[in-house]
Homo-oligomer: A and B are copies of this chain.
Amino acid sequence: MERTGTPRERLRHVIFDYDTLPAKAFDLLLIFSISCSVLVVMFDSVPSFHAAAGDIFLAFEWFFTILFSIEYGLRIYAAERRGRYALSFFGVVDFLSIFPTWLSLFIPGTQYLLVIRFFRVLRIFRLLKLMQFVHEANFVRASIVASSRKILVFLFFVIVLTSIVGALMYLIEGEEHGFRSIPESIYWAIVTVTTVGYGDISPETPLGRFLAALLMITGYSVIAVPTGIVSAEMSSMRSSCSPERLCRACPGLRHEPDAAFCRRCGLPLEDAPDGDGLS
């Protein structure tokens, strides 16, 4: 199949698809290069490694930048709709992966460029397609999207709660115990209600500790709310994925597994797999 079409079509197939051997090989190689270049950026940020092998890291960085630049050029060349690719999520991430290194030729390389370079870790999301996890990713995303409004309400409540408790703790504990301003106290309240609990700020007065204990127990209990929302959503999505029974007259309608008649038009239902040749 991949032998047909113009060279540009064949190239597009290798670069953008995942279903033939050359396309898979290309993507595996790409994921490997991305992982290596991310590791290079990561280790280059460790002071002792940078001192010992900064030059080698720089050489690797240029090697990967040139490689990714060629790849980016090929993608632009092969894309069916070039502007759409260039402005897509992956198009922007691909550009940000190579841009900072080229920029460092003209501007002395700062840490800002290092971090933008690190965003190439996002390219690794292509791995999901390669590993055929798209169905699972879509399921997880769909259930989050379906519950997002309820979770937003929950987060809204958490933010107002932490604001109120933060302001109260600022009053109760005061500057001498580390609650130096309302924003810092709200930060502490978020650290507490999410059960992170760094301990860099912690209450010391009895009343402050009592209020903190109430906040902890609240945080510990209300975690049940988003979990319940997502669980109920996922259970509901799962149970509506059962083998379908179809009505010839109402094609887009789903029916319960024991349905014998269409609930909209009253015609008898047919099984989905062999339901396309009744007469």
Copies held by the complex = 4
Residues on the B chain within 8 Å of A245, using CB: 252
A5 CB–B CB distance under 8 Å: no
Selected contact of A220 from candidates B139, B199, B223, CB within 8 Å = B223
A122-B160, A261-B266 as given contacts; A228 in contact with B220, CB under 8 Å: no
Most B CB contacts (10 A, CB to CB) among A47, A111, A152, A230 go to A230
A52 CB–B CB distance under 8 Å: no
Q: Tell me whether A115 and B261 are in contact (CB under 8 A).
A: no
A181-B45, A258-B252 as given contacts; A195 in contact with B220, CB under 8 Å: yes
Interface mask (A56-89 → B, CB under 8 Å = 1, otherwise 0)? 0000000000000000000000000000000000
Q: Tell me whether B231 and A121 are in contact (CB under 8 A).
A: no
Looking across the interface, which residue of chain B has its beta carbon closest to that of A230? B228
Residues on the B chain within 8 Å of A149, using CB: 133, 136
Looking across the interface, which residue of chain B has its beta carbon closest to that of A198? B199
Segment from A9-17, A23-31, A98-106, A123-131 that makes contact with B: A123-131
Selected contact of A234 from candidates B125, B127, B228, B252, CB within 8 Å = B228
Q: Tell me whether A227 and B227 are in contact (CB under 8 A).
A: yes
Bound CA span A192–B112, Å: 23
With both chains docked as a complex, state the minimum distance between the C-beta of A2 and any C-beta of chain B, in angstroms.
28
Q: Tell me whether A111 and B47 are in contact (CB under 8 A).
A: no
Residues on the B chain within 8 Å of A236, using CB: 235, 238-239
Q: Tell me whether A144 and B225 are in contact (CB under 8 A).
A: yes
Q: Tell me whether B219 and A224 are in contact (CB under 8 A).
A: no
Looking across the interface, which residue of chain B has its beta carbon closest to that of A234? B232
Selected contact of A119 from candidates B155, B164, B183, CB within 8 Å = B164
A-B pairs, 6 with minimum CB distance: A259-B263, A228-B230, A196-B197, A198-B199, A261-B266, A232-B234
What 6 new A-B contacts, CB under 8 Å, besides A133-B149, A261-B264? A136-B149, A144-B225, A224-B229, A227-B228, A228-B233, A232-B234
Query: Can you name 10 A-B residue pairings with CB atoms under 8 Å?
Result: A111-B171, A140-B150, A140-B153, A140-B225, A194-B217, A195-B196, A224-B226, A228-B231, A250-B258, A261-B264
